[in-house]
Structure 1
């Protein structure tokens, strides 16, 4: 089919995205996903907009007003379109807070009925909401509250109930890895035709690479690096113990905000040098990664594992966990270890610390090749195909 026809067809198709996570501090993974995904969708020629619940200059509802709206199943009114810092947007004051209160009281989704709904409403995270008059798409990044309930503060019972309510509605789901897709199919009995895997795009343009090279240096080069939320799910304490056990003199840089469970990140030995940095400027963080000896990412549970491919894209060797999402995403291009075996992890750190130039080049080459699977062009093709397929079905059809 002619590309100009497709572009014209897309320009008349509207897709809204929830703005639940895009304004949050510390750059959550869902935030990056939502912004990157909307940018790609807009580049493909679709008309896109955000559905926000708050903005500067507008007062939030009082808690009493939220409770009344929730009890009466009264969704906030959706404003006329306006220009936000993220692009075209609509405002539904306190929508997501009201929706969660509504679900607490009624155990069912809050239904929105805009006067002019989009063709597709894409919820970038499972929320207790459904929009009438259009196709609803929900991205599920992981189901860690169900597979590893001890590793997250999310209530697994409530999480399962929300997912079950969405499954009972005419919603199509997106997973960001095959591992998560299979977990959803098996644990939640979702028909395979109702869930599509769309990996996240990871690619650094020439302009971004220049910005990385010119960013302020925040840590010593040739260090080991971990970045992400500092929490038990990321296996921080075992990583620090393995780093000390390895006897390496190479510092370990930990970059990221503290998680709610605040694991102990003090060094385990006098010879182990650990440098703790808060969440940093994006380009400075990536410069630290690019100049590092290796990324150490032995996480216990992930939905995608973005740092793995970011490191590979920048020519950095990777150590990550054997099995699950991390092995799927890294392919054959990373060094894998049992995330619960501190001795094995320490041995892997030693190997990375003493890599020969040939072995380092081999790992970097394999990583760069693996990173091509997550290119923006491939992601665009997959997104375009997905949205065009979704639009074929009536909006009240459960695929």
Structure 2
């Protein structure tokens, strides 16, 4: 039995009953749904060994191949698995710790992520450092064996359900840009940290502001050294373009299917312009998959291809357009609420506009593609990268 077959069987046997409420839920724009039950589900995945399947075996993973990891993510999405509460810890931080962390850090932090009992969020973006991450103002100073942190992060996904946050801060007085930064591992449940949810127009509040007022972490809770924070932060983002994007595309495919079914049901499919847009969206889904597979294949050699550089702006723009298509297929009903709440397609429309902002705005993505992928001259500016916190 392949890993894909084994996991599919496990999902069939376990993703039911008390977890049925999670089916197809907690996707972007819906990430604050059933928080307690989602954390329980992560523990179930951990107990069965389905967290960190691609990690090396010596760190508790299965050492799965790229094909197995792709199959795992596609099966998870095909079974309607909810958005992963442990995504940031498992697929972003853990590979970074494995690649750059000390053995003590691996022993301290990997087991909780692997078990689905400790959750992480990302402390990158700031009010004046979104499009220009290198402009961060949060400061960290080392005193008596501890890092003391002062500042603010924003757009921090799932901070309200997390146990830890990794923080990029400025540790060298007078440093600017990418210099003098540190990458710190910080416990959230302490007196020096305040978390404030940001309520969106869709009614959800998965993003947060995080304030640091004398928050602390131990001296050894730094990955890399002083001045290496930018290098570590960028390496972490490299792991973000992994096989989990194929699972994201399965969610997109499900949204597309719902739109097509509605168009057939309400007659919108008789409109030739709607049919043309549906066909274009279908073709975009296929292009997205082929691009992701080419990017992942190249990633095994450590190479980021032109496809890798363009993938984010492509899926973000495609998903935004899908949200607009959903509203046009719904017609006049798109402007009314069912039982006083947004339905799934309305949430898709409201949230998908943010796809072109978080993780790198389309404008910044175009600069990155032009300069790094195409080798064009750099635009005069301070520089930086947009990050979803």
- Taking structure 2 as the reference length, what is the TM-score of the superposition? 0.27
TM-score, with structure 1 as normaliser: 0.27
